[in-house]
Chains A and B, each alone.
Chain A
Amino acid sequence: MKKLVILGAGTAGTMMLNKLHGELDRNEWQITIVDQHETHYYQPGFLFIPFGIYSKKDVIKPKRDFFPSGINVITSEIEKIEPESNRVLLNNNSVISYDYLIIATGAKIAPEQTEGMKDKLWQKSIYDFYTIEGACALANYFKHWEGGKLVINITEMPIKCPVAPLEFAFLADSYFTERGIRDKVDIHFVTPLPGAFTKPKASAILGDFLGKKNINLTTDYNIARVDNDEKKIISWDETEIPFDVLVTIPTNMGDDLIARSGMGDELNFVPTDKHTLRSEKYENIFVIGDATNLPSSKAGSVAHFEADILFENFLSAIEGQPLQAKFDGHANCFIESGFGKGILIDFNYDTEPLPGKYPLPGIGPFSLLEETKMNHYGKVMFRWMYWNFLLKGVELPIESNMSMAGKRF
């Protein structure tokens, strides 16, 4: 029997498991998947929790609901990979060997990377919404908050879902308006980027939205530390920004297991061929999702497009064929803009987000870089698609590589 081991049963690992399980001959292949948790979190849903739109129960399901039968599931923390001897050491002291390995261990926040972040104000006046714990704690705080300075700060790039902090700002505007205290809340969006977003066209358009919604924007701001006594953040060049509540998007890093295995870059992301998704160093290791160092967005939609490419290349690799499928960096994000509306962007490595219609040229139903109700429904629908199609590896009627049809440029 040949052995395929998948590390991480989050968005990308679960998708790959289901796709490959349907294809690989059961008499020839034994598939094993390893994860430390039994619960699957729908992370895009974390965004809505602080505003009471979703609660914890709306974003969790047991992982086993998405595992096909006839595979080996191991619930344990992964200690390290030994790529030279094709084996993985688990925290429960067992060792598993593989012929092929897929790394899908994702990215997580590392607030301890910034001085004073995880100090006495943590989860008192400083919150994150990238974890279930942070999102729920913030929901409790906002319920009773009567206003003041709300600072939303991205520590450094890259982060998962780079539009999520902007969406947070838009939703905060909407939420405090509905609660009737918007005039008492000063929303300040503070980013290390030169604009509201990375790519120039989208950045200009999204920047306008911030202005219209009366959200202050500070760009090129690189946080160095948090002063817990004076309640302010301080940049490397000593610019101070005071807050009453700080919503931080801390440094995002790959799991420590990658560092323990000596396989990561300075942020524990695994160097990966940006087109084939094979590890740059090891022929029998593939990497997918947030765990890679690809210069694409770290998003579930990206992992989904990558999965189609990795599926093809994996089948080529085990037949000894050259890897022909090429990932183009395709990303597609619904941006929740508050008051029941949304914006959609679609882009790849080489083409920045452009206005137009998606996915059917001229028809839509979604509008790119415009604020519409339909785009909001797209975001709402995404959760349903995620649980019912995406994780199960069912094909969606969307091209994995980006298309220029329907775009204005």
Chain B
Amino acid sequence: MATKEIAGKTIELDADGNLAKLTDWNEAVAKELSKEEGIEQLTDRHWAVINYMRKEFTEKGDAPSIRKLTKESGVDTKELYQLFPKGPAKKAARIAGLPKPKGCI
């Protein structure tokens, strides 16, 4: 398994480049991952999405789809794409320290 230095810690990554362990995550790690995803500054709105995703994942065992996200996190689709351009579900999951959403087949 690949490892990487993130925010001063050696962290294990899965095949998709997402964190292998939920417990390795903290805010500093999130900030560094977001830079890799091309997001310079995490705002309150970003955090609303990230925190919602982590909560969903802990409760349900899977990252939410975009539909579920926009229905329940208080951030609509348009804004979601502004916050996490291109692939919001994938990007937000990675920054939140979660595996890539299984959703699509």
Contact = CB atoms under 8 A, between A and B. Distances in A.
Interface string B81-100: 11001110000000000000
A157 B103 contact: yes
Interface string A262-297: 000111000000000000000000000000000111
Binding site secondary structure of chain A: loop
A236 B87 CA distance: 10
B85 to A, nearest CB: 6
Determine which residue in A156, A220, A266 has the highest number of CB atoms from chain B within 10 A of its CB, and name it: A266
A16 B86 CA distance: 42
A185 interface: no
B87 A220 contact: yes
Contacts of A192: 104
Contact of B105 (A220, A266, A297): A297
Contacts, number: 40
A44 interface: no
Interface in B33-92: 65-68, 71, 77-78, 80-82, 85-87
Given A224-B77, A236-B81, A295 B87 contact: no
A237 B85 contact: yes
B105 A296 contact: yes
B103 A158 contact: yes
A74 interface: no
A266 B69 CA distance: 10
B105 A158 contact: yes
Nearest to A235: B81
Contacts of A156: 66-67
Interface residues of A, number: 19
Contact of A266 (B65, B85, B87, B104): B65
B9 interface: no
A193 interface: yes
Given A266-B65, A266-B67, A266-B68, A198 B105 contact: yes
B77 A265 contact: no
A222 interface: yes
A295 B102 contact: yes
Contacts of B80: 236
Contact of A157 (B78, B87, B104): B104
B105 A162 contact: yes
Nearest to A193: B104
Nearest to B85: A237
A220 B77 CA distance: 15
Contact of A222 (B68, B81, B82, B105): B81
B105 A237 contact: no
Contacts of B82: 237
B78 to A, nearest CB: 6
Interface string A292-331: 0001110000000000000000000000000000000000
B74 to A, nearest CB: 15
Contacts of B77: 224, 236
19 contacts: A156-B66, A156-B67, A157-B104, A158-B103, A162-B105, A192-B104, A193-B104, A220-B86, A222-B81, A224-B77, A224-B78, A224-B81, A236-B80, A266-B65, A266-B67, A266-B68, A267-B65, A295-B102, A295-B105
The 7 closest A-B pairs by CB, nearest first: A236-B81, A157-B104, A266-B67, A266-B68, A295-B102, A237-B81, A198-B105
Given A224-B81, A236-B80, A265-B68, 11 more contacts: A156-B66, A156-B67, A157-B103, A193-B104, A220-B86, A220-B87, A237-B85, A266-B67, A295-B103, A295-B105, A297-B105
Interface of B: 65-68, 71, 77-78, 80-82, 85-87, 102-105
